């Protein structure tokens, strides 16, 4: 099976109304279009499910949280429409999280790259371990964090987002990300993080659903234009991925 066809997205709902959405891909939880589409749909459906009170988003495994865009899919893009559709997958996930009426807790157990940083930025409250370094590597492969940029900038500010976007080969520590506001708290290990997530999720599950919905609307005020903005940004990335510069850069990264 091709790498672009692999991966899963699963959802589990407990008796307290806490939904856990877990995505997986064997290549460091990278995100081909199939996974992006399923993830966006799953978040949207969870938001519309009255039995769900709060959502946790996590990835499988103990190492990388998310390696970002699938290089195998990027290198196969040969026309602008296909490129725009692929990068719109990231836009759809961010917008699904943004418009979801339920509060979303992020669980970041390991390194997050590119789109993975975007996902951590799109949740409403994010916990991480000390191993959850972040990197916006897009410029290093000839593109740019155009689609995830608004979500990242909203969380960490223009200065910190610019630092990551420009110094695209640099890892920024989990503690740095916590100081900038991406993570609410960092933990020494997964067990401690999961216990904190359990405590918070249980508190939220017993909170007023309408109050949480209204709070989320307030938190995301001013982002109503993102449906159009992020798709426009997807077109920018879709154009750049067609260039020889970008294709050569991606091939170099794949060989590392």
Q: What is the mean pLDDT of the chain?
A: 95
Name the region of 6 (left: φ>0; alpha: ψ -120 to 50; beta: rest). beta
Residue 130 CA to residue 141 CA, distance in Å, equals 27
Residue 118 CA to residue 151 CA, distance in Å, equals 6
Q: What pLDDT does residue 226 have?
A: 98
- Domains of the chain (ranges, CATH numbers): 3-189+223-255 (3.90.226.10)
The DSSP string of 113-179 is ETHHHHHHHHSSEEEEETT--EE--GGGGT---TTTHHHHHHHH-HHHHHHHHHSTT--B-HHHHHH
Number of other residues whose CB lies within 10 A of the CB of residue 123:
24
Q: Give the percent of the chain with pLDDT over 70.
A: 99
Question: Residue 238 is encoded by which pair of tokens?
Answer: 């879709």
- The whole-model pTM stands at 0.96
Residue 144 CA to residue 1 CA, distance in Å, equals 29
Residue range 212-246, pLDDT digits in tens:
999 999 999 999 999 999 999 999 999 999 999 99
- How far, CA to CA in Å, does 170 sit from each of 149, 173, 200? 17, 10, 32
Residue 73 CA to residue 4 CA, distance in Å, equals 6
Give the pLDDT band (50/70/90) at residue 255.
low
- pLDDT mean over 202-211: 98
Torsion of Cα atoms, 67 then 71 then 73 then 78, to 10°: 140
Asked whether the predicted pLDDT for residue 98 surpasses 70, the reply is yes
Q: Compute the Cα dihedral for 52, 39, 93, 120 and give only its sign.
A: positive
Query: Reading across the β-sheet that carries 8-13, which strands appear in turn?
Result: 8-13, 18-24, 54-59, 104-108, 125-129, 185-187
Asked whether the predicted pLDDT for residue 203 surpasses 80, the reply is yes
Question: Residue 114 is encoded by which pair of tokens?
Answer: 């590119």
Give the pLDDT band (50/70/90) at residue 196.
very high
Residue 20 CA to residue 46 CA, distance in Å, equals 10
Nearest to 110 by CA among 20, 28, 169, 27: 28
Torsion of Cα atoms, 4 then 139 then 234 then 126, to 10°: 80
Residue 166 CA to residue 44 CA, distance in Å, equals 33
């Amino acid at each position: 099976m091709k790498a672009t066809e692999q991966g899963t997205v699963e959802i589990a709902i407990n008796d307290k109304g806490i939904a856990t959405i877990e995505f997986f891909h064997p290549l460091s939880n990278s995100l081909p279009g199939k996974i992006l589409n399923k993830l966006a749909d799953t978040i949207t459906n969870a938001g519309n499910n009255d039995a769900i009170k709060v959502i946790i988003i996590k990835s499988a495994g103990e190492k990388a949280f998310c390696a970002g865009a699938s290089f195998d899919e990027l290198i196969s893009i040969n026309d602008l429409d296909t490129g725009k559709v692929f990068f719109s997958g990231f836009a759809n996930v961010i917008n699904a999280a943004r418009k979801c009426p339920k509060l979303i807790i992020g669980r970041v157990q390991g390194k997050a790259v590119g789109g993975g940083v975007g996902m951590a930025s799109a949740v409403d409250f994010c916990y991480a371990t000390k191993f959850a370094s972040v990197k916006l590597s897009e410029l290093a492969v000839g593109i740019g964090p155009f689609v995830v940029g608004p979500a990242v900038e909203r969380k960490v500010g223009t200065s910190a987002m610019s630092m990551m976007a420009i110094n695209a080969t640099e890892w920024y520590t989990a503690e740095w990300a916590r100081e900038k506001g991406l993570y609410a708290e960092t933990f020494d290990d997964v067990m401690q993080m999961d216990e904190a997530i359990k405590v918070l999720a249980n508190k939220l599950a017993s909170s007023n659903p309408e109050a949480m919905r209204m709070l989320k609307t307030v938190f995301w005020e001013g982002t109503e234009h993102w449906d159009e903005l992020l798709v426009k940004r997807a077109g920018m990335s879709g154009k750049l991925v067609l260039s020889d510069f970008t294709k050569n850069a991606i091939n170099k990264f794949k060989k590392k």
